[in-house]
Amino acid sequence: MEDLLSANARAVLEVLRASKSHPTAQEVYDEVRHVRRGIGIATVYRILRQLAEQDMIKVWGSGSGSARYDACTHQHDHAFCTECGTLLDVPVAIELSLEALAEAARATSIEMSSYEVRIYGCCNSCQERRKV
Ligand SMILES: [Zn+2]
Ligand SMILES: [Zn+2]
C-alpha cells in the first residue's frame, strides 16, 4: 500500500514515524515543508485524512486544530500533559482484565473493538518549568 502513496504522503508518514510527540497537523507541516518544498498546509490536512482513512495512522482528539497524529497503529496507551498538551506513548503495558473491559462495554451497550487507557497530569518538562 505504501508504494501507492505520493511522494508528499510518504514524506508526511516519515515525519510522523520519526516523531515521538504525536504532532498536530501544523507541526507536521512545519517539518515536512523542509523536505517537500512547496507543499501547502491544505495538502498536509488532506494527506493526514487519507492516511487515517486507510488505517495507516491514528488520530487522537478532534477538531482540526487540536487533533494529534500517531504513526503507531497497534494498541498502546497514552499519557497527556494537561499543561502543554503533549501526548506521550506509555512504554509499558497497563494491566486490565478482559472481564472488567467486557463488563464496561456491556454497561454502555458498546460492541468493543478497541480500548485505551489515558493518564492525565503534568509532564516532565512542565514539572521542571514549575520549579524555576
Ligand atoms: Zn507538559
Ligand atoms: Zn501513540
CA 116 to centroid of ligand 1, rounded, Å: 20
Of all residues in the chain, the percent with pLDDT exceeding 90 is: 67
Cα of 128 to ligand 1 centre, how many Å?
9
122 Cα–ligand 1 center, Å: 5
Which residues have CB under 8 Å from 59's CB, separation 6+? 48, 52, 67, 68, 69, 70
12 within 8 A of 28, measured Cβ to Cβ = yes
Is the pLDDT at 58 greater than 80? The verdict is yes
pTM over 0.85: no
Looking at the CA of 84, which ligand is closest?
Answer: 1
**Nearest bound ligand to CA 79?**
2
Ion ligand 2, residues whose Cβ is below 5 A away: 70, 72, 89
List the grid coordinates of 26. Answer: 501544523
> Cα–Cα distance between 104 and 76 in angstroms, integer?
19
Q: Nearest ligand, CA of residue 118?
A: 2
Confidence band of 64 (pLDDT split at 50, 70, 90): low
* Residue 1 scores a pLDDT above 80: no
Confidence of residue 27 (pLDDT cuts 50, 70, 90): very high
